[in-house]
Structures are given as C-alpha cells and as structure tokens.
Structure 1
Amino acid sequence: MTAAARAGRVGKLRLDEIRMSLTARDFRIIATLKQHRFLSTRHLERWHFADHATRLSGARSARRVLAKLRSYGIITALPRSLGGITGGSSQHIWHLTPVGERLVSSGEPDRRVRVPSTAFLEHELGIADIHLNLIEAERAGTLRLIDFTTEPRCWRPFPGIGGQLITLKPDFFAVVAAHADYESLIFGEYDRSTESLKTIVKKAGVYEAYWRTGIEEKRSGGFPQVLWLASSETRLSRIQKQLGRTARVTMALHAFSTPQNLVKTLTRESEADHA
C-alpha cells in the first residue's frame, strides 16, 4: 500500500473505481471492521466465510479477499508484535485505512493512526468474540440477534443530580430474543480482570444513576440488564459478591456470565421469565 493510500489521499475518481470493483461481501467486511475497529483473520472467516463447504475452503477464500482489500489500500494489518496475540502464523489483526473509512463514512475520516496497546486490543477482540458467539447462536436457531451496538455509539449521556453531564459507557448494547414474543435488552460489560473491584462498583453506581433518570425506558421501552462478562467463574463470583454487599447497587439490574456461557445464560433467563 502506498503512503498516499495510508493517508487516505485517494482522489474521488480512484475511490469510485475502487467502490465499483467491490462485491457486496467486501462491503460487509468493511462495515464489520468499521464497527469493531480491529478483527483477526479468523474473526472475519467466521463472520463472512462460514457458508463455504469446509472451514479450509472458507479460510482460503478469506485470505484471497483480504489480500485484495489490502492491495486496494482499504485495510491493513497491525505489526506482528501486536497482531500475534491471537496466535497462529496465518493470523493478522486487520483494521481500516483512511481509504476504507471513506468508503463507509460521510465526511473526512480521522487520519491519525493510533497503534493500540495490547490490553486495549485484547479487549476489542473479546467484544468481537462475544458478538460472533451471538451471531453463530442465531445461525444455529438458538436465538435472534436484533441489535449489537459497540462503543462509542452505545454510550448514554445523561444529566447528573447537579446538572453536570455524565456519560454511561457500556462496552456494548444488544437486543436478543430467545422467544418469539420476548426481547432482552442488554448493556454489556466485558471484564478482563484489569480493573479493580472498586472501579467496577463505581461503574455500577453510574448504571444506578442512569436507571433512576428513566431516560432509557423512554428510549428503549425498558431498562437493559447490565450483564457482566468475566473471563473466569472466580472473577465473576468476586464481582457479584462485591456488588451484592454495596448498598447503593440494585442487584436486580445485574446479571453475570462468562463469555463462553453467554448464550446459555441468555436462553436460561428468557425461559425463567416465561415460566
């Protein structure tokens, strides 16, 4: 990719030529990268190449398509020192270039290239895993995924008691349906054990304050379940106990799961609501 492409300095004529050469699946890949910012090769295989006869044929097709998008200057990969966190010599971590941003965004894209920290990258890839788990559950007929909104579009600004602006910052907002006549609203919090329990209690307090405004009920028709997703049952138990012993936290607002058990947790809670 040329320096001009990396900087997004591609003329409108060339951009139109690129756009005309792309398939519907190419645009879906670009849109997915726009939403999640960073995705591994394997993520994109699972997302957009799962309809192939075998995983191997899907992987080969994915590599060809990603190589094409890279040659057009639409996507690029992180340095191996960061991208290697996913494991496997064939794995890259992909993100959009400014050219790619221009294909899916109105106005001029942000041209500053930010190399993420490993901690941030692992968090972003974890959110993508959660999203994919729900997509694959929908493909299997276990539930319907109606919405999955990532940061910062899922954030909720609201006025505090003193009139100051407070912003609730969930990791994602989702709407799922395990039954035809019932939708579950979710504010997702993906915990990688990098924050103290004190910080988690403070964030739960922001959810509490937002809930008491009644704004979300008017917006969404109900207040979403705050779903804490921790990497281990031990960590999950610590979060649940810490919130449970905090007087200002309404435990009925909160649910707890590991990412691996997310689909089971959602379907189990939906069945309990219908019991």
Structure 2
Amino acid sequence: MSPPTRPFTGGRLAQLAVDLTTRERQFLAELATLHVATTAQLGRLVFGDCKPATTARLGQRHAERLVRFNLIQRYANRSRDRKVGAPGYVLTLTEAGWSLSGADTAARQRQRRSWMPSDAFLAHRLAISELYVRLIEQGRDGGPTLREFKAEPDSWRRYLGLGDEPLVAKPDAVVRLVTGGLELSWFVEIDRGTEGQRHIADKCDAYRRFELSGVEQQRFGIFPGVIFIVPTDARRQAVQRVIDRQTAAARGLFVVTTEADMLTALASPIT
C-alpha cells in the first residue's frame, strides 16, 4: 500500500481540483468506473492516442503523481494473471480521489481504509477492467461504440421476488454497445474456471427469476442477454452443457464465449 500522507483539508482538496490536468481528471474518472485497474490498463484508456511505449510511460508518471497527491492508492498485484516483468501494482481511488472524480457509486460506499484484496479477487476484478479497456480500444478502431459500462457493484440489480422477498441479481458488469444502428445489452459474467456446474446453474436460475420479475424491462424496455466469458474452450463447453440443461424458455437468454472471442460475441445479437 502507498505510504500515508497528510490529511486533506477542504482548502487543499479545492486547490487540487483546480490544479489537476485534463488527463489526470480522466485517470480518476476511469478508475471510478472500474474501481480496480492496473497502471497499464489506465494508461491505455487515458493515453490511447499515443504510441504503446509512450502510453506506458505516461500512465506510470500520472499514477505516481496521483499517488503523491493521495488521490489513488496502490496495492501489490499478486493475482495469478500478472505477467512476469509487468508492473506490480493495482490502483484504487482514495476517499479524496472519489470526491474529485465526481462519481457517487456503490463501490465508493463500500470503500474501506483497511481493504486488503485477495489474489482471486484481484484476478477477477482486473479481468472486468480488461474487458472495459478492450471495448474502448475496439471503439477507437472503428468497432462498436460502448454506450454504457458498469462494473460490480454498480451493475447489481435489486428487486422484490415472490412475497416481496428482497433479491439481488449480481452481474459482474453491464454492457451496452451500439453497432450498425443496433443497441445490444448484456449482463456479463466473467468466469475464471473456478466454480462448479451447480454454481453456474444457480446463476442461470437467478437471472431467469430476475427476467420473470419484469423489473428490468419496466425500467429499460429490454432484458439484456447474459454472456459468460470463460478462459478456455474446454470451460466453454462445460458451461454450455449447464445452459443446455435449462428450460427451453430460459436457454435463449444465455451465451457462453471464450476471452479470445468475447468482443465478437458481445457485438452479435442472440439468435
């Protein structure tokens, strides 16, 4: 974790609000969307118009500056997905960083000073962040436009079930893409290959219950498809077998794809 710095006063925070550059503000805004990201991911988002080497250098420089300002904090990246030689930190916003980002999200309400993420949690959250980065990069390259992206817990949906029982649908992300004049909406499940078939079936049941509640359709006019993004083709086949055991009415709600094919799948309507 980054070393502690002196507490913020209202005056110091107001001065920082004036002093921050446009890129630094974007750095904070992107981190408010993702909640957790690597320096490299944020560099690709904020400096995507630069050459890769410049993107990495500027991302690192801005991260260090914002750490010194106590607007972001760093944690050691011990996730299993970390590549040898890659930067060893992940970034999150501090309370002051949240204030200057202008965001008011569920993640901010859950912020804890003593937050110590597990390796598995980091791997999962960074996979969500990587999906967002790749969707943004795809749009820059002339692909589908990302209209909305919400990462958990901002993506969660609260509703009342039978007997007014409070329930929560918990997608890892909500994605809305525009392609060819068509808007595609998805609830995204980032699957790391660690959950058993019973757990996947329970998720399918939960989404079907939420669909039948009609709450999402009343609010947005549509119920998104549910896409499982998995690491390997073997895992894709395993999840597909679970989907195939759903009722005929429910099966059409779900799609499973690999990480390698996820951008193509997200840009394709469910048939």
**Residue identity in the other structure for 1:238:** A
Name the counterpart of 1:73.
Answer: 70
- 3-state DSSP class of the match of 1:78? strand
Q: In the alignment, is residue 44 of structure 1 matched against residue 42 of structure 2?
A: yes
Q: Which amino acid aligns with 1:188?
A: V
Counterparts of 2:86 and 2:210, CA distance in 1: 45
Deviations 1:125-171 (A, max 9, x none): 00011111111111111111110111112111111122211100000
Aligned counterpart, 2:155: 154
Distance 1:84 1:133 in 2: 16
Helix, strand or coil: the match of 1:85? Answer: coil
Q: Could you list the runs of 5+ residues in structure 2 that have no partner in the other structure?
A: none
For residue 113 of structure 1, give the secondary structure of its aligned residue in structure 2.
coil
Between the aligned partners of 2:164 and 2:55, the Cα distance in structure 1 is 53
Measure, in 2, the Cα distance between the counterparts of 1:79 and 1:215.
40
**More displaced, 119-128 or 242-251?**
242-251
Mapping for residues 93-172 of structure 1, pairs under 5 Å: 93-104=90-101, 105=103, 110-172=111-173
More displaced 10-residue stretch of structure 1: 19-28 or 71-80: 71-80
Which segment is superposed worse, 11-20 or 57-66?
57-66
Matched-pair contact (CA < 8 Å) for 1:98–1:111: no
Q: Normalization by structure 1: what TM-score?
A: 0.89
CA distance in 1, matches of 2:203, 2:155: 15
Which letter maps to 2:138?
A: A
CA change 1:243–1:73 in 2 (3 A) is same
Q: 203-212 or 33-42, which moves further after superposition?
A: 33-42
Distance 1:184 1:94 in 2: 30
Pair 1:193–1:62, CA change in 2 (3 A): same
Give identity over the alignment, percent: 27
1:90 aligned onto 2:91: no
**Contact 2:229–2:257 (CA<8 Å) still a contact in 1?**
yes
Normalising to structure 2: TM-score of the pair? 0.90
Contact 2:243 2:254 in 1 (8 A): no
Q: Separation in 1 of the partners of 2:104 and 2:185?
A: 29
1:262 corresponds in structure 2 to 262
Structure 1 residue runs of 5 or longer lacking an equivalent are none
Once the two structures are TM-superposed, the CA of residue 34 in structure 1 deviates from its matched residue by 1.8
What residue identity is the alignment partner of 1:228? F
Distance 1:86 1:22, change over 3 A: farther
Cα RMSD for the two superposed structures: 2.3
Aligned to 1:211: 211
Q: Please report how far the alpha carbon of residue 81 of structure 1 lies from its aligned counterpart in structure 2 after TM superposition.
A: 4.7
Change (3 A) 1:2 1:119: closer
Q: In structure 2, do the counterparts of structure 1 residues 14 and 219 end up closer, same or farther at CA, with 3 Å as the change threshold?
A: same
Change in CA separation of 1:82 and 1:119 when aligned onto 2, cut-off 3 Å: closer
Q: Would you say the 8 A contact 2:34–2:151 is kept in 1?
A: yes
Contact 2:79/2:120, CA 8 A, preserved across alignment: no
Q: Return the offset for 1:4.
A: 4.6
Q: 1:212 to 1:228 in 2, by over 3 A?
A: same
Q: Distance in 1 between matches of 2:221 and 2:162?
A: 23
Residue of structure 2 equivalent to 1:243: 243
Query: Match for 1:154: what amino acid?
Result: S
- The letter of the residue matching 2:230 is A
Contact (CA 8 Å) 1:157, 1:166: kept in 2 or not? yes
CA separation of 1:80 and 1:163: change in aligned 2, threshold 3 A: closer
Report if the CA contact (8 A) 2:17-2:100 is conserved: yes
Residues of 1 paired with 2:37 and 2:162: CA distance? 39
Q: Secondary structure at the match of 1:3?
A: coil
Map of 1:63 onto structure 2: 60
Distance 1:19 1:204 in 2: 44
